[in-house]
Structure 1
């Protein structure tokens, strides 16, 4: 437990779980009370997350606010939680987005023909938040796996129970893909236990203690045969690649995003899917550094394909929400690229990208959702002239879209730039090809804005009303974050950088040395100047 005697991280993830229980215990008729209790619980989580951030010392121990208690001793597993800088910023992202999403989806449980259970909707959001938070703060491999899988259940009901008519089918596809990935990972988790219980292991018995296993791998006291390590690495990678999702394991995402409510789609893409990329950075790289190095060219190739593929397919979409879903596939490619380029800049940019993508995707998807709710159509061709009747809606849509294409001055630019320059130092061809997505992003974002927001209002079409106060309360904090982190990302990078440095040091990976100048610069160096 922490030095002040309070279990901050346990309180962090238990609060939304308790909140979900309170919501479900309310009388069925008290629909508004259920909404407000859920929103209040999410605000308490945000306050706790901010308190955790204030207690975190970027210059201190790598893992802080650690709690460890006996859980299942016979399995070598404990309830152990703690945060490093990367986990901290993702905890903050989750804590910020969930109240915003609850506010955005305030009426998602109400339909024209039926009144769906508000209590269930609100409780499912809080359950997902709780399980995602445990995944980020877990320092025990089995504990992480349990909640990595458990979060699929509330997400399944959110997609299938509150989406459109095709939501149940999309929910089944989402669940089958992710459960299959989880089963592969389960075999790898068991493999880690077997390896740590082997004769060559420094442990007295098998263990799931992430820090102990990672330290033993780094120190060379736990050696695993290359074929076994490769198999275990691929088991973890496959599950994370499905969750992220990485091309070609992405096909469940567009359907799940389109046929669920916008708030649920954002919860999935901006929060839940980050567990996959976080898992790659923490577990794949640190538990299996040699295998990660072996398979890095393959993963980078898939990431680059995903970057270009997602952008190209987005350009050809006629469905507004499906277009936004494919942009996320492209952005997840950038995040994976940064993780496996394994330089301090690329991994720092990747961790920052997880945060910035969550904010920008939330802004764009939610504003698009407000627009679709007004017109009742996702088809881009059914719109036009929105900026003349709803200028605030059009303006926020434009800012969110420009953030999606990584315009300088908005948050995603910094992270994408770091990923590209960090990748270029080790994989220049991959970085150059990935850069093409910047042009493609400008095409799909600006063309979407032109078709939807400019020009005349379609004949026979209703005038679109502007954002109402509740919708402004949803969008405003996201736009502010995009602007603030675009101009001043230092606080987030200050938290991330020591964690990235610790990861690269643990796996004995150094940034490539700078290329020595030639020609005139080399001549100058020989005339009395030394290379710095």
Structure 2
């Protein structure tokens, strides 16, 4: 049985809901359509995950596009299969758990359209489809920013659009042309390109283009400026969806590692340095912020820097930990974004200097912020505790100094979050800001915040199934880069690291001391 109808239905569900929401007669009608569309997306996303865990191959071809020499080929690996329900959950949480006043018709449609495009990136095994989905994910936020009329936002969004799409489109187009010259029947097909190979002389410049696009989407230094600005002044829900869904990691593994292994091997040191600088830079700047939304932007940039460092280190433990960390940070920071949105809806500001004493009128909100802060920084019992342990152990095998600096970045992130908790929730209450009565968290808000805390705790206690899904992806990435870096010699250099870290990445085995 072909998996194409299932994956096509998954991509089409939020897109159809976005179209219906944009044509709803009222904002309330759009919210109901968005809620139904997000719920259906979550349900559909569970089926590919179940099939992937059962060992069923999830790669299928659809209709051909003869003029382009492309075919709508969809498929998943263990990492992207785990990202599908994550996106469904985050989308449903943002729709149902966010402030209703912020979810008008254009915003509801933009959330669903962005989710559909991101699903396209996760599932695309055709470079033309991948490029189209990558660009489509940025269009809804640009339209929302254009409606707001903020010149800084529009300028930031345009730079993000051009900087994040042009290099990737150029690289993917060049790879298709090179594959066609080598006799590929479907020059945009990822497997076909992998079979014929990209000439080694082209791999480094093409990987540089792909790397720029990925670094832009991951808000890495020096391409980080768009994320704090959009999170502070732009549409919070759509920006969280763009920032927390790991499309950059997915493209880095599917295109950079699989199709350009020699270019990735050559660029590994550069990526590692950029990842470390991004982790430290984001952590320090987050500590200096007073606005909670802007602080969250730098915090996400710091977390993504750690993920990039773990992948670039290319140790089995560090790569496994990086993939796990990307999932853990997405869950926890989405919950933090919901709490910050709730504060903004009630207090009219997210400036910590104008807040204080929220723990008295809103103790549940304070408890959720504290628990999600713990989940973000890797407290025991959370998924991030397992992921950071693997990540730092893997980096330690390669370079102890990098591991110490990465640990310092994680520690600063923790100080930032607990300082924000102290400023916003402790101290004397600001009655001039909050008014005589502050509305408590609604039932729907409590439900999704509780689900977020529960999800990170359950996965933290039992992460073996998630590690088992990621393990083939980790092994294939290391094998591909070793092959691209020079065959047997590079494989011999990587084998000691693989033997030293593989036990921790295998399901059911504890991390190595």
TM-score when scaled to structure 1? 0.87
Q: How much has 1:301 moved relative to structure 2?
A: 0.5
What is aligned with 1:128?
A: 114
Structure 1: which 5+ runs fail to align?
Answer: 111-117, 217-221, 518-532
How do 1:180-259 residues align onto structure 2 when only pairs under 5 Å count?
180-198=163-181, 201=182, 203-204=183-184, 207-216=187-196, 222=197, 224-226=199-201, 228-259=202-233
Task: State the partner residue of 1:295.
Answer: 267
Offset of 1:74 from its aligned partner? 4.0
Residue number among 333, 339, 343 corresponding to 1:367 in the alignment:
339
Residue ranges of structure 2 left out of the alignment (5+ in a row): 484-490, 501-513
| CA gap 1:427/1:160 in 2 versus in 1, 3 angstroms | farther
* Farther off after superposition, 93-102 or 409-418: 409-418
Partner of 2:506: none
- Alpha-carbon distance in 2 for matches of 1:58, 1:505: 24
On the 8 A contact 2:99/2:345 being kept in 1, the answer is no
1:59–1:498 Cα contact (<8 Å) kept: no
Name the CA shift for 1:73/1:399 in 2 (closer, same or farther; >3 Å).
same
Structure 1 match to 2:46: 50
Higher helix fraction (1 or 2): 2
Alignment of 1:18-29 (within 5 A): 18-26=16-24, 28=25
Cα shift at 1:250: 0.6
8 Å Cα contact 1:306/1:329 also seen in 2: yes
Query: What residue number does 2:302 align with?
Result: 330
* Counterpart check, 1:420 vs 2:387: no
Distance 2:271 2:499 in 1: 29
CA contact (8 A) 2:71 2:186 kept: no
Distance change (3 Å), C-alpha of 1:506 and 1:381: same
TM-score normalized with structure 2 length? 0.90
**Stretch moving more, 94-103 or 32-41:** 32-41
- CA distances 1:171-217 after superposition (whole Å, capped 9, x unpaired): 4412322323311222211211222133xx3x35561111222244x
1:407: which partner in 2?
Answer: 379
Structure-1 residue corresponding to 2:160? 177
Measured at CA, do residues 223 and 439 of structure 1 come closer, stay the same or move farther in structure 2, by a change above 3 Å?
closer
Determine if contact 2:126/2:189 at 8 Å carries over to the other structure.
Answer: yes
Which shows bigger deviation, 498-507 or 123-132?
498-507
Which aligned pairs between 1:39-188 and structure 2 lie closer than 5 A? 39-57=35-53, 59=55, 64-105=57-98, 107-109=100-102, 118-161=104-147, 166=150, 169-188=152-171
Task: Write out per-residue CA displacement over residues 336-394 of structure 1, whole angstroms, 9 at most, x where no aligned residue.
Answer: 11111112222222221221111111111110111122111221111212112211010
Give 1:324 deviation, angstroms.
1.1
Assess, with a 3 A threshold, how the Cα gap between structure 1 residues 405 and 12 changes in structure 2: closer, same or farther: same
Larger Rg: 1
1:431–1:58 distance in 2 versus 1, CA, 3 Å: farther
Root-mean-square deviation (CA, aligned residues, Å) is 2.3
Q: Which runs of at least 4 in structure 1 moved beyond 4 Å after TM superposition?
A: 509-512, 514-517
Q: Secondary structure at the match of 1:207?
A: coil
Which range moves more in the overlay, 276-285 or 462-471? 462-471
CA distances 1:11-56 after superposition (whole Å, capped 9, x unpaired): 1001111222222343x2x432221122111111111111221122
Q: Give the direction of change, closer, same or farther, for the CA distance of 1:239–1:390 in structure 2 (3 Å limit).
A: same
CA contact (8 A) 2:373 2:414 kept: no
State the 1:265 CA deviation.
3.0
Pick aligned residue for 2:362 from 380, 384, 390: 390
How many Å apart are 1:516 and its aligned residue? 12
